[in-house]
Structure 1
Amino acid sequence: MKKVVLNLAVSLDGFIEGANGEVDWCIMDDDMNFETFIESIDTIFYGRVSYDAWGNFEPDENTSPAERIMWQGIHAKNKFVFSSQSRQDEKATYITTDIAKKVSEIKQQKGKDIWLYGGANLIKTFINSGLIDVYKLSVHPVVLGSGKPLFEDLKQRLNLRLLNTRIFRSGVVELTYEPEQITNR
């Protein structure tokens, strides 16, 4: 079965974007080998705002060849947009109702894993609904002081089990977790 993977940059103080939506603090070094992650997925889940901003993003002429290849890989994936607004879009399928049921159906399909790209409201919905199978958080060596927090308005405690840690030369630390199954004692 496919897994839903939240792969996300987060500041040391827990923000996923700055106070004005900025993400210029995110570091992409070649030793992070992000291409391997892109190759491990065949589907991307977006919220509507994130899809509008990044779902069809085209890098400019000053973009490095490696980043251009990364965007080509991202744009080759199946795209699902979770939104209260339904649109016709030949590059994405819109999901407006029954999120948990639709996610379960997509996870049952053959293929590779699913990247939960975001945004913050969609991530919150997935966390609160228990729909994330893997949390891959890249903690960046920056303190923003304010912005959009990753974990906000949770309905209950989220217990995670550490699977892997990677440290990159930039100082970014990638922490990979899976949710612990809670049993009644």
Structure 2
Amino acid sequence: MRKTVFYGAISLDGFLADDNYSLDWLFKYNDNKIMKESYEPFFKTVDTTVMGRKTFDDLLTITNEFPYKDTKNFVLSHRPIESKYIQQVNQPIEEFISELKKQPGKDIWIVGGGKIVSTLIENNLIDSLQIQITPDILGSGIKLFDHINNQPNFTTDYVKQFDDLIDIKYSLKASV
């Protein structure tokens, strides 16, 4: 069965973006080494991306060209999306991911959205978290984890330092 993974960067205090949904605080880091040694190997393991509408809209403000043209891409949204690279999803994320995991393919990348990640963790549908932690303290913004009621049991697979960034991977521990 396919795995559902979150891969992304957060501030030291757990924020994906600042109050203005901006990632400007993240772009100051020289990321050549982490791209080669972490992101590129990770990206080879996925063939599907899933993101929320806000993440999709923010992505389009960062780049002129959609970066995931060679994958299946799903955006959760009630509003219409005009993009040849996107399939719009208008159903609860936990139902959609449960169906998607049963289909053949590589892993499924949850690109962004703290509410999406938290909902999937709440429903035991995230298999791993690979997080790059920066030394920034934003104080407020968009949190990666948002009101999780259950306490999933993750195990640490590895930790690697890339200058000021820490790359850490956790996997959901199998139930005994």
User: TM-score band, normalised by the shorter chain?
Assistant: 0.7 to 0.9
> What's the CA shift for 1:57?
5.8
Quote the residue 2:33 is aligned against: 31
Comparing 89-98 with 39-48, greater Cα deviation is found at 89-98
Quote the residue 2:3 is aligned against: 3
SS at match of 1:75: coil
Per the alignment, do residues 89 and 156 of structure 1 end up closer, same or farther by CA in structure 2, a change over 3 Å counting?
A: same
Counterpart-to-counterpart distance in 1, 2:140 and 2:93: 30
> What's the CA shift for 1:150?
1.5
Per the alignment, do residues 100 and 147 of structure 1 end up closer, same or farther by CA in structure 2, a change over 3 Å counting?
A: closer
Q: TM-score, normalised by structure 1?
A: 0.80
Per the alignment, do residues 121 and 55 of structure 1 end up closer, same or farther by CA in structure 2, a change over 3 Å counting?
A: farther
**Is 2:155–2:173's contact at 8 Å kept on the other side of the alignment?**
yes
Comparing 119-128 with 10-19, greater Cα deviation is found at 119-128
Identity level (%): 29
SS at match of 2:73: strand
Aligned: 1:50 with 2:55? yes
Gaps of 5+ in 2: none
RMSD: 2.3
Gaps of 5+ in 1: 60-67
Quote the residue 1:64 is aligned against: none
Q: Give, as a single letter, the amino acid of the residue that structure 2 aligns with 1:118.
A: G
Per the alignment, do residues 24 and 92 of structure 1 end up closer, same or farther by CA in structure 2, a change over 3 Å counting?
A: same
Q: TM-score, normalised by structure 2?
A: 0.84
Larger Rg: 1
